[in-house]
Each structure stands twice: as C-alpha cells, then as structure tokens.
Chain A
Amino acid sequence: SQQGEEDPQALSIQEGENATMNCSYKTSINNLQWYRQNSGRGLVHLILIRSNEREKHSGRLRVTLDTSKKSSSLLITASRAADTASYFCATELFAGGTSYGKLTFGQGTILTVHP
C-alpha cells in the first residue's frame, strides 16, 4: 500500500520558475526522503530529512517537514529543463521504538519544465 500521497500529480512550469510539490503521509516516521526519477537515470536520491528536523536545503532544493500535519514539501527554485522528471517522496516508518529501513513511496509528481 502507498503511505505517501504527492500533490499535484502533474506540474507544468516555465524555466526559471519555482516548483513546489507536496507529500502527505499517515503514520509516524523516522525520516522522509525525496527521490527523482527519469527514464535515463533511474531513481536518484535528492534529500533526507529526519523526523526531528523542520527544514533542509541542498543547492536549489528546499524541503520542509511538518510532523504535526504529517506533510512535507519539496521546493525547486529557478527550475531548469533538466529538472523534468517524476519526483517521489518516501517515508521510513517508525513504530514501537523501531525504524524499519524499508521505504514506502507515494505515487509521485510528474514535473515538466518548458525551456
């Protein structure tokens, strides 16, 4: 079953604009990770944010995590055509004092950046 849900399912923007994708989940997590996937390079890890963190940056990427709302967002600033891909959030569950290592992915957001 899919724990995470990304919103929107598809996003189309112009180069230079910012892109924001959201992810909601249902159960307690140890961390949340964002991945990018395109046909040429498979799944690429972008950023990991732990449950006790609220915001993380990596280059043009900014991720926020709100554990009270069970939601996360990924912001890509100054987008480029090369950012065109599917973006997935994935959660590592935490239950009974144990984190499980395995990731539960959402269905993804398809981002298209037009030159």
Chain B
Amino acid sequence: GAGVSQTPSNKVTEKGKYVELRCDPISGHTALYWYRQSLGQGPEFLIYFQGTGAADDSGLPNDRFFAVRPEGSVSTLKIQRTERGDSAVYLCASSLSGNSYEQYFGPGTRLTVT
C-alpha cells in the first residue's frame, strides 16, 4: 500500500518568506508526527497530532512554526518569516495510533533558506 508522502521534496526559499510543507499519512493512521533533521543529527520532534488535534506541540521551536491537520488526515507544517537556521529536512511520520506503535516515515522535505 501507499506509504507516507511529503511534498515538495525540495524547497528553496529566501530568508523572511513563508513556506508550507505537506504530509499525506498512511490511510487509517490516526497519529501524525512532524520531526526536523539537521545534517549529521537524529530527527528532532516538533509536533504530534492525534486525529485533528495537536496532542503535543512542545517541540515547535518558536511561534513562527505552526501545523494543522483539519480533517484528521493530511497535515501542513507552516513556517513564517523563515530564517537560515530553519534549513533542515522536515520529516513526517504516521502510526496506527499514538503510543507504542511503530512510526512510518515519509521521504522528507529538504528546506533550504538562502
């Protein structure tokens, strides 16, 4: 079956611009996660959705970052006033439910802020 998909695969933007990153989870998965991975590091948690609601947004670095999942399926991560330090690979994962289930990761969106 189809895995987690993310679009775009690559995004280059100028400092100060707004970007949206999209994640399509595996059908039927109620839990959705966003992570960010910098070069040479492990993924770092950003936000977790259970259904439509953000169950845990403690990893969002500041208020320039926001994510939604209005219908409990597709999610969009939004970054305002991008900074060069936001450059990273943004990973989305989904699981059957939250807690104690393996997470299936998408290929990621590589964001470069120039």
A76-115 with Cβ < 8 A to chain B: 88, 90, 92, 99-108
Q: How many cross-chain pairs have Cβ atoms below 8 Å apart between A and B?
A: 69
Tell me how many residues of A have a C-beta within 8 Å of chain B: 26
In the complex, residue of chain B having the shortest beta-carbon distance to the beta carbon of A102? B45
Set of chain A residues within 8 Å of B42, measured between Cβ atoms: 2, 4, 88, 90, 105-108
A41 to B106, CA, bound (A): 9
User: Is B43 within 8 A of A30, CB to CB?
Assistant: no
Indicate whether A50 reaches chain B with its CB closer than 8 angstroms. Answer: yes
Nearest-neighbor residue (CB-CB) of A1 within chain B:
B44
Q: Determine if B41 and A107 form an interchain contact, defined as CB atoms under 8 angstroms apart.
A: yes
Query: If the complex has contacts A101-B98, A102-B59, A107-B40, are A43 and B33 also in contact, measured as CB distance less than 8 A?
Result: no
Is residue B104 contacting chain A, with contact meaning CB distance below 8 A? yes
Asked if A72 is at the interface (CB within 8 A of a chain B CB), the reply is no
Bound together, the chains give a CA A2 to CA B35 distance in angstroms of 13
0 or 1 for each of B76-112: is its CB under 8 Å from A? (1 = yes): 0000000000000001010100111011111110000
